[in-house]
Amino acid sequence: MDLANDKFDKDRFGLITGSACGVLFPEKGDGRAGMKTYAKKLANQKYFRFYDEVSTWQMQHGNMNEHEAFTFFQERFDFDLKKGLFVMDENFGGTCDAISKSYGVDFKCPTSLEGWLDYIHSGIDKQQFHQAQMYMKLFNKETWKVCAYLTETEWMLQRGLAYPVSEDKRMIVVEVKKNETWNDRLIENSAFVIDEREKFYTSLCDQFGEKIKPIKPSKDYKAIIAKGKELTKKANL
């Protein structure tokens, strides 16, 4: 099994990502406590260049079936669909599952029939909404598609069980449109997270030494990557 650190893009450490940015959009209160906890996590990642391995059987199910979901969508909906890639924009970054000319795609692999059908009855949840908005920002798209793909779990396969849904009907597509006010709120709340991240990062430098110096935000992606690799190489000498 691939570990998170084998698959985790090394340039992503310390960045606010789509999969976790929901904490910046609290439904009640100012959400500062949650944002501060997230900032601490980002500082730890940024300093140590390490991502704690967190895996559940549901996550493993999704990882194992993502390629199958990609093939299903590509063959039935869009032959031009390409595998996703990592994009970084200053303090934000993320890796999408797939990308096409006018939209992007995020695959979900629910582990129950009820969970899968909820994409029809209830649509996507808040976290998935914010993730889609972040991807639209990073990849400059007006539309994102969250695709729920149904496939049997390992437990079901071992017992010869199958979902009562025909193979050609096993993907539910939820289309998300870009929210014009979302980015303004992201910028406003991310300022607090970034500031707290740097405070935590400074504390780590004080404790362990300036192993890797902070890189100033820049839209020049290639310059950031080159400088980051140079600093990492020097730190490891």
Q: List b or e across 211-220, with b for residues whose CB sees 16 or more CB atoms inside 10 angstroms.
A: ebeeeeeeee
What pLDDT, in 10s, does the model give residues 33-80? 999 999 999 999 999 998 887 789 999 999 999 999 999 999 999 999
What pLDDT, in 10s, does the model give residues 95-132? 999 999 999 999 999 999 999 999 999 999 999 999 99
Residue from 46, 89, 37 nearest 196 by CA: 37
Please report, as a single letter, which amino acid is at residue 6.
Answer: D
Name the CATH topology of 1-232.
Answer: Lambda Exonuclease; Chain A (3.90.320)
pLDDT of 100: 97
Q: Collapsing DSSP states into helix, strand and coil, what is residue 47?
A: helix
pLDDT above 90 coverage of the chain, percent: 79
C-alpha span between 149 and 147 (Å, rounded): 6
Q: List b or e across 48-79, with b for residues whose CB sees 16 or more CB atoms inside 10 angstroms.
A: ebebeeeeeeeeebbeebbeebbebbbeeebe
Residue 210: pLDDT band (50, 70, 90) is confident
Residue 232: pLDDT band (50, 70, 90) is low
pLDDT of 93: 94
- Residue 222, pLDDT above cutoff 90: no
C-alpha span between 4 and 81 (Å, rounded): 25
> pTM of the entire structure?
0.82
Residues 152-164 have a mean pLDDT of 97
